[in-house]
Amino acid sequence: DSGVTQTPKHLITATGQRVTLRCSPRSGDLSVYWYQQSLDQGLQFLIQYYNGEERAKGNILERFSAQQFPDLHSELNLSSLELGDSALYFCASSGEDTASRAFFGQGTRLTVV
Amino acid sequence: GESVGLHLPTLSVQEGDNSIINCAYSNSASDYFIWYKQESGKGPQFIIDIRSNMDKRQGQRVTVLLNKTVKHLSLQIAATQPGDSAVYFCAEKAAGNKLTFGGGTRVLVKP
């Protein structure tokens, strides 16, 4: 168990809908990272928050947004969902502002139908 | 469990033998290189990392080698065990805290 908790584990929704994925980082970790893992694109970095502020941005679509709350949990919002958004979404956390030793959660499997 | 990629290169290794997993990276400015293990239905798990100013680092049963001349990274697993069966990803970290992952290699350990 990495200590990073993601909910829900599975989510099935229709095209055009909006969903929110939630992540609770390891106790004390200030950094949260979001990744997307799909069969054709592999693992891709989306965005990082550090102590409530956006710190780094990767290949995140404009339809997607994230935030980190004062209690350090984070949410990833995906809107106007398309079939191609079906993927595993991982959250990772680290104690410092460095991605190299982040601990990953078990992921949320999103299926868009 | 979840399948992470149905068309990954696969390394079959006999239990007890050593495994070598290779990775080519692209960014000569990357300052950290990391190996992750991902088991079915789970998130990536950190194995070992190496700074760009090193060429070798050893952990418990694992060794990472970095060859910056040819932009090549390898992970050696000694005495491979059934529990080592998983998909292994290399990742490089460049400025801005962005990790770029390789496509992954599936390791199958035969008893």
Q: Which of A47, A42, A26 is nearest to A95 (CA)?
A: A26
Which residues in chain B are closer than 8 Å to A88, comparing Cβ atoms? 2, 4
Q: In chain B, whose CA is at the least distance from the CA of A96? A: B97
Please tell me the predicted confidence (pLDDT) of residue A95: 84
Partner-chain contact B93 A45, CB within 8 Å: no
Partner-chain contact B93 A100, CB within 8 Å: yes
Beta strands in B1-111 (DSSP E): 10-14, 19-24, 32-38, 45-51, 56-58, 62-67, 72-77, 86-94, 98-101, 105-110
**Contacts A–B by Cβ distance under 8 A:** 64
pLDDT in tens, A62-95: 999 999 999 999 999 999 999 999 999 999 999 8
How close does chain A come to B41, measured CA to CA in Å?
7
Please tell me the predicted confidence (pLDDT) of residue B8: 85
Partner-chain contact A106 B93, CB within 8 Å: no
Partner-chain contact A43 B44, CB within 8 Å: yes
Q: Is the pLDDT of residue B3 over 50?
A: no
pLDDT in tens, B75-89: 999 999 999 999 999
**Contact A87/A38 with Cβ under 8 angstroms?**
yes
Tokens of B71: 């932009």
**Contact A41/A24 with Cβ under 8 angstroms?**
no
